[in-house]
Amino acid sequence: MNPLFARLPTSIFARMSMLAAEHDAINLGQGFPDFGWPDDVVAKAAEALTQGSNQYAPMRGLPELRQAVASHYRQHQSIDVHHDWVTVTSGATEALAAAITALVTPGDEVLLLQPLYDAYLPLVLRAGGVPRLIRLEPPSWRITADVLDEAFAGAPRLLIFNNPHNPTARVFDEGEQRLLADRCVRHDCVLLTDEVWEHVVFEGARHRPMSALPGMAGRSVKVGSAGKIFSLTGWKVGWIVAPPELGGPISKAHQYLAYATPPNLQAAVAYGLTKDESYFAAMRADFAKARDVLSARLTEADFVPLTSEGTYFLSIDLTASGIAVDDVTFCERAVREAGVAAIPVSSFYAEDPVTSVVRLCFAKEPETLALGVDRMRAAKALFSS
């Protein structure tokens, strides 16, 4: 047994969802939506299942999906991507695993921004990488030049960057992205950029891919996810986009992890990626409306929400909300005694965690959000003096 994985805790998402089911709680923890998927894309998958191939897809993905990914990014993000740069994976997490396996050798320094998605660190450690953590602080969660200069003092091989960012719901601005790009070019560092939330941004913002910045096209590995683009998280269809010198080794790692992804789902995603801008604008508007409903209801319940610029998530500041306990204590009692599941943001830290922030998922129907906030109000009452 590998001692690394024996020591790892169960994912906070799995744990809180299990407790939510056990206590018949409203689950505002794990980030899956209960609305928003396009019915025609689902129908296309069903059609492909009954009328198309159900045998192994090509290892790097169906040609039509690889071409659709390339065309989609040219249309929506104005980046020149060749379909040969695309490898389809079984979800974005498998894409990350293949990329880290291929790019990190034992002893390589890997830079990680924390709070960080929970899969990054175990994958880096399993590859033999030496993690170096860049700490972001609430409520602004900003990247600064001083923090980056300290982090790049060594000789990092890889920087893993998630934008829009889970769990903070930040959409890092152009200045912050340029700071990262400048340091990567200056230090000859490869960038693994997790951009699965690229279409879920609000207030008219447009996603800026890191590969579009000066000097970054040849050193960036972009990870995308159909599950996030189409609100179909169970499909687990993702991809990497990378120049051949980076993408080739990642594809070879992918062939020994999953080899191929279900062809009917690939065909449906290829169809979905041809949708015009109106679909994506409407999708963003629907999620922004849900975010605003949750934020307003939380404010009425005397919680202090933090800004949510993208993703399905909105966080609350426990201290500012008058709750004088840590986030784990709050979440444990909330699910067990008030019937609502949330995620403690401290679980996204590898060291010295922030313990005053709780993350909620707003990708839910209005009735679910209303009942969830009623139970959050009851949870807050548990800690009243």
d(CA 294, CA 381): 19
Residue 19 has what pLDDT? Answer: 84
| Range of lowest pLDDT (12-16, 319-323, 377-381) | 12-16
Range list for CATH 3.90.1150.10 in the chain? 3-30+278-381
d(CA 362, CA 343): 13
CATH number assigned to the domain with residue range 40-275, chosen from the 4 options 2.60.40.10, 1.10.1200.10, 3.20.20.70, 3.40.640.10? 3.40.640.10
pLDDT tens column, 260-316: 999 999 999 999 999 999 999 999 999 999 999 999 999 999 999 999 999 999 999
pLDDT tens column, 173-188: 999 999 999 999 999 9
Range list for CATH 3.40.640.10 in the chain? 40-275
Q: Which SS3 state, helix, strand or coil, does residue 172 take? A: coil
Query: Is residue 15 very low, low, confident or very high in pLDDT (cuts 50, 70, 90)?
Result: confident
d(CA 336, CA 30): 16
Residue 234 has what pLDDT? Answer: 95
Tokens of 158: 């890889």
Residue 206 has what pLDDT? Answer: 92
**Rounded percentage of the chain residues whose pLDDT exceeds 70:** 97
Give me the mean pLDDT over the 336-350 stretch. Answer: 96
pLDDT reading at 1 higher than 60: no
For 323-372, the DSSP string reads --S-HHHHHHHIIIIISEE-EEGGGG-SSS---SEEEEE--S-HHHHHHH
Could you tell me how far CA 283 lies from the centroid of its own chain?
A: 17
Query: Is residue 21 very low, low, confident or very high in pLDDT (cuts 50, 70, 90)?
Result: confident
Residue 36 has what pLDDT? Answer: 86
Residue 4 has what pLDDT? Answer: 58
Q: Does the bond joining 156 to the residue before it have cis omega, within 30 degrees of 0?
A: no
Give me the mean pLDDT over the 192-215 stretch. Answer: 97
Query: Is residue 8 very low, low, confident or very high in pLDDT (cuts 50, 70, 90)?
Result: low
Residue 9 has what pLDDT? Answer: 67
Domain 3-30+278-381 homologous superfamily, CATH: Aspartate Aminotransferase, domain 1 (3.90.1150.10)
> What's the mean pLDDT when you consider all of the chain?
95
Q: Buried b / exposed e across 119-141, counting CB within 10 Å, b at 16+?
A: bbbbbbbebebebbbbebebeeb
pLDDT reading at 5 higher than 60: no
Query: Is residue 7 very low, low, confident or very high in pLDDT (cuts 50, 70, 90)?
Result: low
Q: Which has more confidence, 2 or 223?
A: 223
pLDDT tens column, 125-149: 999 999 999 999 999 999 999 999 9
Residue 3 has what pLDDT? Answer: 63
